[in-house]
Chain A
Amino acid sequence: MTLQECYAMFGGDYEGVVSRLRSEKTVKKFALKFLNDKSYELLCSSLEAGAYEEAFRASHTLKGLCQNLGFSRLLESSTRLTEALRYGWSAEAAGLVDEVADDYRQVARAVQQLEE
């Protein structure tokens, strides 16, 4: 599978990211590295523990990563989750957590396939 196909699978901005990071090689390197990033895990665990300030930071970091890597769909949902968590837990956060989880799984699956 090509990088472009991979980006298509999870709704990413392939052209944008390649033009920003200058080479497909760099993009691929960081896309693969995304699987090792701990911010999603931290988001899940801190939500579970009710540590919403930490959850906000984790979500914020995840959002920044998606921005840099052009993961548009996950960026969109994580941005809304970040705002929903900015001042602690809020009603709409619950639904958004599921949305982020779905989008994240899509990215993870596609990137794993890219790796193989």
Chain B
Amino acid sequence: MQHMQKQKILIVDDSEMNRSILADMLGEEYEILEAEDGVQAVAELQKYGAELSLVLLDIVMPEMDGFGVLSVMNKRRWIEEIPVIIISSETRSSHMERAFEMGVTDFISRPFDALIVHRRVVNTILLYAKQKKLVGLVADQIYEKEQRSSLMIDILSQIVEFRNGESGLHVRHVHLLSELMLKELMQMTDRYKLSRADISLISTASALHDIGKIAIDEAILNKPGRLTPEEFEVMKTHSMIGSNMLKEMPIHQNEPLVKVAAEICRWHHERYDGRGYPDGLKGDEIPISAQIVALADVYDALTSDRVYKKAIPHEEAVQMILDGQCGTFNPLLMDCLTNVSETIQRELSNDSPDRMSQREMRNIADEMVRHEELAASERTLYLLEHERMKYRFFAQMTQEIQFEYTVSPSMATITPWGAEHLGLDELIMDPLNDRRVLSLLKEEDWKRVIETLHATTIENPMATHVCKLNNNGRWRWSRIITRSIWSADDPPQYTGIIGKAIDIHDSQTKMDTLERMASHDQLTGLLNHVSAKKQIVKRMETNTDSQFALVIFDLDHFKFFNDNYGHDFGDRVLVHMAEKLRQRIRKCDIAARIGGDEFLIFLEYRDDLEPIIKRIFSFLSGNYGNLDISVSMGIAEASLLGADYDSLFHAADQALYTVKRNGRGYYRFYNNMMRDVLSQISPIESDRELSVHHHLDESAEGAAEEEDAK
């Protein structure tokens, strides 16, 4: 074979010295890959597959020994494609026997002799290359054969049966007889240069021999009794008609099958002595295909019931043919018929559609046995390699972590880039018990991932998880997409998964930041009004059995701070208040800055609201530097107003306005009497008299007493 590239040999030995001695002996002609233990060997096998021309394998190694490698090679069926030569000094017969049973081709014992090593390696590689080629040839032939014969014969049998109820089996029989006689003829002589493929082709094409009869008037075709000379002339035209039909086909004219079939159609009524029709060919001027089919045709006509006669027994029919009562045939074919006479009788008496397919199966099985496993033809292998190369290329380009997991043997493989990125090996045995693999995801994510994987089905094999992935110590948001794989068996067996992990950390973080920016107040870091409202509405929708209150407060005389100490100082006061607010509220409360110095608090509570309010209120009031800070606060309860945001907000606003109008520095609950009060948030000048209750600033000490007007 001429290859531009050197063939690859994998040397597996734990001793670097031994590897380099072997590499030294082979390196000029082959590309040498090395592995120092079984696990590495499996990784290389996984990576290169049938690109490897040979594996030189040591037995005694750490991690996974040579038998371990052989066992994986058997499970993954690599052993059928890649020859293995054992290079161990373990030459005890039990070892050797076990290795041969596991598909090893040869042993090279130590000490290595350069000539012997070289010769064995060359021989083994050549032998496998030849075998692969043969396997490819046979596979192609069998495939074609299968395609051609069974379908064609079934269809044609049906057509003929339909036209002529009595000869439904005729086409089948002619096929079978032709095949038997051709096989025999091939054994007897090489005069006709018949190959197995030719035999298959002729016997398949034989099914078409009478195809021209579909153009013959049914009255003549099925006439009981003798045909008149005129009718016989019409009948004779079927051979030419059949041949022309095939020759005039718009497509497939050059198919060997069509050519052979046309030959058979036209000349299956010729006679060896030249007295046949339509062309009066003589002797071997008649193609062997037509000669064989003619004989098969006559034999089956004799032994079957026809509208004009009864079936004649086998022996008598053969005798009649041999005696020349049914035309003149090639003497060689006469011998051939005699030789297969017994087989014919046996096979035909058993023939039925079912038997037929069994026979086909047996033929195929025979060929299979002769050439072992016919996994794929060379072309298929080539395509496979091509796909692998493409896959590796793209995997490298994408910077995605791609992986594969097989259940048996329990093994994970990761693309080279991915493995390096994760700080893992490319091949990991028993990954579900591997500490490093387990540390890739947080425990709860593993649980989730495994749950969704278990939920995949053949119809819905895909699963996606977004979670943080441990990238060699850095936790990064990733999207993990997997596809579960099942075998083609019946019932299908779950065999593993393939998948990839895409790093979405940057985009995810950016999104988070943007979302944060959009929903939070820049100065204080509290929520802004819009997002607070969203959260509050959602909360009230989900926790229907809780009690809620909405609180709005602002800083008293904030304008004074701004005007006298500057806006920067004002901002610092706001930040200080926001910080205090954050300290005081509980995790489940929602706090927001909704305007200049206006803040909102949303509280969820079970029992008594007022102590909570009192606590917050008194905590917010106090000093900032030398300055006293006091706040005014309005509170609206959902128990009074319903769980409607706008109503609550409006009511709290009105309560706050009420406080502002009546001296500031205290808090107030909204009550129905405030319904017509104006808004503090969007104030409108008004002199309307307010009906309010005063709370004095004592509440700053936490001793306020609420005289609720409710």
Contacts and interface: CB of A to CB of B under 8 A. Distances in A.
Interface of A: 16-17, 19-22, 26, 29-30, 33-34, 37, 39, 54, 57, 60-61, 63-65, 67-70
A25 B177 CA distance: 70
B114 A22 contact: yes
Given A21-B21, A26-B24, A54-B62, A61 B111 contact: no
Interface residues of B, number: 19
A17 B112 CA distance: 9
CB-based closest 3 A-B pairs: A67-B110, A20-B113, A67-B111
Contacts of B14: 57, 61
Contacts of B60: 57, 60-61
Interface in B1-40: 14-18, 20-21, 24-25
Task: Tell me if A's interface is mostly helix, strand, loop or mixed.
Answer: helix
A60 B89 contact: yes
19 contacts: A17-B111, A20-B112, A20-B114, A21-B112, A26-B24, A30-B21, A33-B17, A37-B15, A39-B15, A57-B61, A57-B62, A61-B15, A64-B15, A64-B110, A65-B17, A67-B111, A68-B110, A68-B111, A70-B111
A65 B114 contact: no
A112 B278 CA distance: 95
B118 to A, nearest CB: 10
A34 to B, nearest CB: 7
Contacts of B113: 19-20
Contacts of A22: 114-115
A69 B89 CA distance: 14
Contact of B20 (A33, A54, A70): A33
A21 B25 CA distance: 8
A4 to B, nearest CB: 18
A49 to B, nearest CB: 15
Nearest to B15: A61
B114 A68 contact: no
B38 to A, nearest CB: 12
Contacts of B20: 30, 33
A70 B14 CA distance: 19
Given A20-B113, A68-B21, 7 more contacts: A20-B114, A21-B112, A22-B114, A54-B62, A60-B60, A61-B15, A64-B110
A64 B88 CA distance: 8
B107 to A, nearest CB: 14
Given A30-B21, A64-B89, A21 B62 contact: no
A26 B115 CA distance: 14
A65 B24 contact: no
Contacts of A70: 111
A19 B61 CA distance: 28
